[in-house]
Structure 1
Amino acid sequence: MEFKGRVVDIARNWKTGRFRITFEAEEDISKQVESTTDKLLTITAKLFRRKRSLDANAYAWVLMQKIAEAVKSDKWPVYLDMLGRYGVFTHIIVRPGVVDRVIAEWRTVKNLGEVTVSGQTGIQLQCYFGSSTYDTKEMSVFIEGIVSECHELGIETATPEELERMKREWGVSL
């Protein structure tokens, strides 16, 4: 069962100490509820995030293809370069022997070098998430970076008005 909703009440059973959480669904989930009644469930509640639009993704790839043509490259290396410049990342510290395995699991990784934490030596990596995981705000920032690269190369992009319209459709205002 998956649905969009809100927590409307939290109570604690004074005998058992267990919590009871009441959700209010934004949609009709009656069929889903019927199939799960009296069954043990794994429950996950996370903040709702708008997913970026497929139009946003398509536009990003069109622009990266234009950049690739302008610099006589392929769009995949351009994509990886754009991730490194405008993408979302996290820092992790790994054992020196697994650096190559970690790099193989991420779209783009910058090796920031050796660090020592609590007497243990590791390698700090800046790991970039693929754009398919971006929400609308992250995708908007990514596309704005790509658009700025296009302008530097003299590549035509959507007008500022068209970009604003697209952002409104993606649910983002920057």
Structure 2
Amino acid sequence: MKFTGKLKEPIIDFATRRLTILFEPQEDFTQAYEELKDCEKLSLEIKRYRRKRSLDANAYYWVLLGKFAKAISLSNPEAHNLMLCRYGQPEIFEGKAVYMTIPDTEEAERKVRNATDYHLQPTSQIREGNDGITYRTYKLLRGSHTYDSAEMARLIDGLITSCKEVGMPDAAIATPDEKRLLKERYGVDIG
């Protein structure tokens, strides 16, 4: 069960020094309460609310990405990784971006460009390992399926810019209805 809402002022029992947290859900909590009220122990996760991206935005992105990939003679995974490298979001653990090194070879670079299970952004950092092999450092990027609506809007906006840079006409980028929808829902202006 997932609910959105607001935290209210906590209640502190001064005798036991224990804290009671009050949560005001926006949705109807009646059924959930009835199911859970007799449970001795519950698990609860509280995090900042972020509006999820729309499936419309996701569908639009993948259709346009296919057109872009065809226009520049890349596979869809190559084009998607290119967009993530330009406009994507880093994977963050404990407040820090995640980096990894892999051999700096054409084969490794080809695998990274075509990867679908992971997304890596090459950096300029190259070093020689103790084994005599040259390694390149890559930044780990989040998959676009994890993006909220603002992050997805940035990715779509970047894809649209890239489409225009390669000379794709506006009509191939979006229909008038798609333009209106993208502007209204995501603040993306195609022009």
TM-score normalised by structure 2 residue count:
0.72
Q: Is the partner of 2:81 in helix, strand or coil?
A: helix
Q: CA RMSD in A?
A: 2.9
Alignment of 1:40-55 (within 5 A): 40-55=41-56
Q: 1:107 aligns with which of 119, 122, 129?
A: 119
Q: Is 2:82 the counterpart of 1:81?
A: yes
Q: Secondary structure at the match of 1:142?
A: helix
Matching residue's letter, 2:154:
V
Q: Which amino acid aligns with 1:168?
A: E
Structure 1 residues 28 and 85: alpha-carbon distance in aligned structure 2, compared to 1, 3 A threshold: same
Segment of structure 1 superposing worse, 106-115 or 127-136: 106-115
Instruction: Give SS of 1:9's match.
Output: coil
Task: Look up the SS of the partner of 1:6 in the other structure.
Answer: strand
Aligned positions, number: 161
Name the SS for the 1:141 alignment partner: helix
Q: Secondary structure at the match of 2:139?
A: strand
CA contact (8 A) 2:182 2:188 kept: no
2:98 is aligned with 1:92: yes
Identity of paired residues, percent? 34
Residue 158 of structure 2 aligns with which residue? 145
Q: Would the alpha carbon gap of residues 114 and 33 (structure 1) be closer, same or farther in structure 2, given more than 3 Å must change?
A: farther
8 Å CA contact retained: 1:107, 1:128: yes
Using a 3 Å threshold, how does the CA distance of structure 1 residues 84 and 63 change in structure 2: closer, same or farther?
A: same
1:163: Cα distance to partner? 3.4
Of residues 152-161 and 31-40 in structure 1, the stretch that sits farther from structure 2 once superposed is: 152-161
For structure 2, which runs of at least 5 residues remain unmatched after alignment?
92-96, 103-107, 128-135
Instruction: Give the TM-score of the pair, scaled to structure 1.
Output: 0.78
Q: Tell me the CA shift for residue 106 of structure 1.
A: 3.0
Q: In the aligned structure 2, how far is the partner of 1:13 from the partner of 1:152?
A: 62
Aligned to 2:61: 60
1:135 aligns with 2:141: no
Q: Does the 8 A contact of 1:140 with 1:167 survive in 2? A: no
Cα deviations by residue, 1:43-89 (Å, 9 ceiling, x for unpaired): 11111111111111111111110111112221111001110011011
